[in-house]
Amino acid sequence: MNCKIGMHSKTNMNSKTGALFVVATPIGNLADITLRAIDLLTQVDLILAEDTRRAATLLRHFKIRTPVKSFHQHNEAAQLPTLLRQLNGGAHIALISDAGTPLISDPGYRLVRGAREQGITVTPAPGASALIAALSASGQAAERFCFEGFLPAKVGPRAQRLQDLKNETRTVIFYEASHRIGATLAALVEAFGGERPVTVAREISKKFETFYCGTVAEVGATLAGDAHHRKGEFVLIVCGAQTRQQEPRQVAEAAEIMQLLMAEMPLKRASAIAARVLKQNRNELYQLGLKLKSEAGGGGG
């Protein structure tokens, strides 16, 4: 199926220089694919797919017969020189992942970085992304957020990562697999407390799409109580830590320490040291430093 509507991509296909297209694909419902993605996948010389079997299902549905090559975290480094030679030789290549937007918790950044370093055109074809889809329907604050991908599988490193994020004031987003979702929610209770609001999205854009909303403890109990709820692919959207209202004396003390430290070192390092000394949130101190610099007529750091 060639929709013949991707004018920008069509122009690039006719050029003599190669190009790499980073193409988003559906995360569930195949109808979520964009017309431009179909157009590009039909026209390119080669499609790089994380799992060729899953790619085959998508391509067969849209009658796309472009050659497909396996490209994943275990062979990315070995394939990089050959792919860059092909791109430099004029090939047009599309990179897709198993689902959603490539490079988001998926392989590919070495190829994109290598292409850019060699002056090869890299063009995104936007589309579905599980983290954005989940956030948009979560009911959690979306104006400021951070994406942490998958947490470490081992208990110790996972607990440490969550402790590092305990005082993060932005909404925090994680991906998680079905066999670890219970343990991850239990770890969130341990690190963030059971009363922290959370939204857990399961099987987004698929037949059994479900959103679980409540406190971490409540949602954890819901999933623990029924194995059916623990099946599928998950996105966790955790409410950020509430900013503490500081006394004027504390604000003045923080400002004084930040000014002293910023006179001797970059802002990022100053905020990190001040956070340890004052036992306050590093991001809040960084923002305070930016404000102080602005008031003094300086730039950011």
Question: Quick check: 166 pLDDT over 70?
Answer: yes
CA distance 270 to 258: 7
Token pair for residue 82?
Answer: 């050959």
- pLDDT more than 70, % of the chain: 91
Kindly report, residue by residue over 39-95, the tens digit of the pLDDT. 999 999 999 999 999 999 999 999 999 999 999 989 999 999 999 999 999 999 999
The pLDDT value recorded for residue 8 is 43
The pLDDT value recorded for residue 247 is 62
Kindly report, residue by residue over 239-290, the tens digit of the pLDDT. 998 755 556 777 888 999 999 999 999 998 998 899 888 877 777 888 888 8
CB contact at 8 A, 267 and 301:
yes
Stated pTM of the model: 0.74
- Distance set, CA 154 to CA 71, 150, 253 (Å): 27, 12, 39
The pLDDT value recorded for residue 107 is 87
7-128: CATH topology is Cobalt-precorrin-4 Transmethylase; domain 1 (3.40.1010)
Nearest to 105 by CA among 197, 202, 235: 235
131-238: CATH topology is 3.30.950
CB contact at 8 A, 144 and 43:
no
The pLDDT value recorded for residue 275 is 86
